[in-house]
Amino acid sequence: MIAIEIKNISKKFKVYHNRESHLKYAILNILKGKKARLSSEFWALKDINIEIEKGKTAGFIGRNGSGKSTILKLMSQILYPDRGTIETHGKISTLIELGAGFHPELTGRENVYINASILGLSRTEVNRKFKEIVHFSGLESFIDNPVKTYSSGMYVRLGFSVAINIDPDILLVDEVLAVGDESFQKKCIKKIHELKKAEKTIVFVSHDLDSVEELCDEVFLLHNGRLIKQGKPIEAISEYHRLLMGSSDLQVREEETIQDTAMISNGKNRWGSKEVEITGVVFLDRNGNETDFITTGEAFRVRINYEAYSKIEQPVFGIAIYSDTGIHITGPNTKKEGFVIESLEGKGFVQYEVDSLPLMPGTYLFSAAIYDLSGRYPYDHWEQYWKFNVQESKTVTHRYGLISMPSKWSIEKK
Amino acid sequence: MVKRIKGIWEFKYLIYNLVQRDLKVKYKGSTLGFLWSLLNPLLMIVVYTVAFKYVMKIQVPNFPIFLFSALLPWNFLSSTLSMGVTSITENGNLVKKVYFPREVLPLSIVLVNLFHFCLSFLVLIPALLFFKITPGFSFLFLAVIVFFQTLFVLGLTLLASALDVYYKDVKHFLEVMLNLWFWLTPIIWPLNLVPGKFQDYVYLNPFTAFVQAYRDIILHNQFPNPFILTIVVVTGILALLLGALVFQKKQRRFAEEI
């Protein structure tokens, strides 16, 4: 069953050059019988088609101004599309502005009632949920004080408690999960998980990619008002990472990564002090040829090219391999495996070798990093930046799962 | 349109809460509380009576009741409009962030003022007794006039509040208009002050009919004449239709225009 159906939606915004002279121009236009230019337009969303199934959690990611908040507002009918249609099935609640509509002179209790009714609850529903809301906020002892006496944290907590406890069919969330102290945040995430379990449809707009990855079943990546990627969280997120690096090509080549280094220094998927840098990663097949296609059961080598700008004592190289669903399959490093590198200077590469690759066919993501000996000081860390494919082997006949273990069967009858 | 009304009905508890909130906030911490709603019209009537009856010597029998029967409905109209015109823009934060039928905002302003209006009628009872007018059967008809005036006021408030989002001058324009409108309506002057052949023109002002209807009932203790009653019913419905249509069309862009 579809909870939200977005068909061919486009939305344009007007940007006014001069707000004050609005009426003056309107009158002048009538008098002159022609249109003076008051505003320019831009398309915040263009030709979007999305279906979100009931019970699923969908995430929208993208840069600021990519249109992700606009799409949320269209779903909640705060905005109307210029073209296309949106159909939603079920009661919607929007967590955009917490405590919107709170009146400072009224008590917390009175404001809970008003706020809940703004979100569409009836009197009996509020009565039923009141205790739960107050308990969730942890503000039992302040609930009969005017909210003007609340701290901003208390204010937001109360607002959040109302919004999350109204039990909608569809919950729209815009960047508000990071409220309150840590224990309150945990409570919020727990509540979201409860709603997920209860088969509620949740739409989630956020910059917090970790939460998106944790919570969402499907992620939509928007860029300049267009939907450019839709799929599993890890796929969309890594595409977003590539986008942030200025390249939306999935097959990022070594040369490009070097060129892009300057642009991504602040990107979320690369960090470190850069006294030594990873200048590229190359995958090699059993014949030592550079390739992104490896075969199950065959030899697999990864070459991590580095350049050290000063003498680096006892660096630790590490890698990680993830499935395309984000499962961390392996994460070895040189220190743990007793491979000691005394020091580095200048260019070179570190090689990681597997005699017989146990991974089943599919797409995998690859991280590489250089740390100091303590493991707490990153020189250069690239998180899930590279991608390689594993193809089917003629000799390995396993069919299911992520890995293929050398194994044999036996039977003993008694 | 039916769907829209149904949508508003689903938010009836919000309307109730907004009305209650406005009433509560208005009188919170004041000792006299609701009495202020009564004192205000009473004081206005005393001032106008002194000014017009004794200073300017306008010859109208039962002047305070004459004034009262028109001034209270006028206050309902003017205070609703001047409060209601900004009902969307002032709640911009809410409109931009949360969905609810936007009609709820002007509607709750109308209801708050309707409440005050009905309350201020309480002043009427001692005043009528004082001037030895016994309320008759026709007084029941007040409810009909009040109902259609409410439709009229609601229509205008919807219109004004929707336009205010797009044109910032609407609020100031309205202020001037209300002032002019007050003097163009036979509120503190009797209709028969106008020479006979011009009297019909005064009815071009839609509020004249409402005032005359109230006077027929309160001052003359009789049913309003059918001609006046027709104007009251028709203008009430037309104003509401116009306001609702413009509002519905304009509200689609409220969140981006505020």
Q: Would you call A118 and B256 a contact, using CB atoms and an 8 Å cutoff?
A: no
Would you say B244 and B156 are in contact if contact means Cβ atoms under 8 Å apart?
A: no
User: Is pLDDT larger for residue A241 or for residue B84?
Assistant: B84
Question: Quick one: which of A43, A51, A72 has its CA closest to A60?
Answer: A72
- Cβ–Cβ contact B176 with A under 8 A: no
Which pLDDT value is given to residue A352? 94
HSE (side-chain half, CA atoms, 13 Å) at B72:
28
A201 CB-contact burial (10 Å; exposed 0-12 / middle 13-18 / buried 19+): buried
Whether residue A259 has pLDDT greater than 50:
no
- Cβ–Cβ contact A114 with B under 8 A: yes
Which pLDDT value is given to residue A256? 35
- Angstroms from B164 CA to nearest CA on chain A: 11
Which pLDDT value is given to residue A252? 37
HSE (side-chain half, CA atoms, 13 Å) at B86:
11
Per-residue model confidence as pLDDT tens digits over A191-221? 888 888 998 999 988 877 878 888 899 999 9
Which pLDDT value is given to residue A317? 94
Q: Would you call B21 and A110 a contact, using CB atoms and an 8 Å cutoff?
A: yes
Residues of chain A with C-beta less than 8 angstroms from the C-beta of B174: none
- Cβ–Cβ contact B3 with A under 8 A: no
Residues of chain B with C-beta less than 8 angstroms from the C-beta of A122: 13
Which pLDDT value is given to residue A249? 41
Per-residue model confidence as pLDDT tens digits over A295-341? 888 899 999 999 998 888 899 999 999 887 778 899 999 988 889 99
Which pLDDT value is given to residue B155? 97
Euclidean distance between CA atoms A171 and A56, whole angstroms: 11
Q: Would you call A117 and B21 a contact, using CB atoms and an 8 Å cutoff?
A: no
**Secondary structure, 3-state, chain A:** CEEEEEEEEEEEEEEECCCCCHHHHHHHHHHHCCCCCCEEEEEEEEEEEEEEECCCEEEEECCCCCCHHHHHHHHCCCCCCCEEEEEECCCEEEECCCCCCCCCCCEHHHHHHHHHHHCCCCHHHHHHHHHHHHHHHCCHHHCCCEHHHCCHHHHHHHHHHHHHCCCCCEEEEECCCCCCCHHHHHHHHHHHHHHHHCCCEEEEECCCHHHHHHHCCEEEEEECCEEEEEECHHHHHHHHHHHHCCCCCCCCCHHHHHHHCCCCCCCCCEECCCCEEEEEEEEECCCCCECCEEECCCCEEEEEEEEEEEEEECCEEEEEEEECCCCEEECCECCCCCCCCCEEEEEEEEEEEECCCCECCEEEEEEEEEECCCCCCEEEEEEEEEEEEEECCCCCCCCCCCECCCCCCCCCCC
> Of B99, B166, B256, which has the smallest distance from its Cβ to A13's Cβ?
B256
Residues of chain A with C-beta less than 8 angstroms from the C-beta of B98: 76, 78, 94, 96-97, 100-101, 118-119
- What mean pLDDT value characterizes chain A? 83
pLDDT band at A18 (very low <50, low <70, confident <90, very high): low
Going by the DSSP 8-state scheme, the letter that residue B132 receives in this structure is: T
Whether residue A255 has pLDDT greater than 50:
no
Query: What is the chain B residue with the closest CA to A69?
Result: B97
Which pLDDT value is given to residue A370? 93
Per-residue model confidence as pLDDT tens digits over A160-186? 888 888 888 898 888 766 666 777 777
Q: What string of pLDDT tens digits covers the 258 residues of chain B?
A: 788 888 898 899 999 988 988 888 777 767 777 777 778 777 877 888 888 778 877 777 788 888 888 999 999 999 999 999 999 999 888 888 888 899 999 999 999 999 989 888 887 777 788 777 777 788 888 999 999 999 999 999 999 999 999 888 899 999 999 999 999 999 988 888 888 888 888 889 999 999 999 999 988 888 888 999 999 999 999 999 999 999 999 998 898 888
Euclidean distance between CA atoms B118 and B146, whole angstroms: 9
Is residue B173 helix, strand or coil?
helix
Residues of chain B with C-beta less than 8 angstroms from the C-beta of A103: 21, 25
Q: What is the mean pLDDT of residues A228-232?
A: 91
Per-residue model confidence as pLDDT tens digits over A85-117? 999 988 888 776 666 678 888 899 988 998 888
Question: At a CB cut-off of 8 Å and minimum separation 6, what does B192 contact?
Answer: B199
Q: Say what the pTM is.
A: 0.70
- Cβ–Cβ contact A104 with B under 8 A: no
pLDDT band at A248 (very low <50, low <70, confident <90, very high): very low
Going by their DSSP bridges, the two strands A57-61 and A201-205 should be labelled as parallel
pLDDT band at A373 (very low <50, low <70, confident <90, very high): confident
- Cβ–Cβ contact B95 with A under 8 A: yes
Residues of chain B with C-beta less than 8 angstroms from the C-beta of A67: none
Q: Would you call A119 and B98 a contact, using CB atoms and an 8 Å cutoff?
A: yes
- Burial string for A371-382 (b: 16+ CB within 10 Å, else e) reads bbeeeeeebbbb
Which pLDDT value is given to residue B184? 93
Q: What is the mean pLDDT of residues A124-144?
A: 91
Whether residue A132 has pLDDT greater than 80:
yes
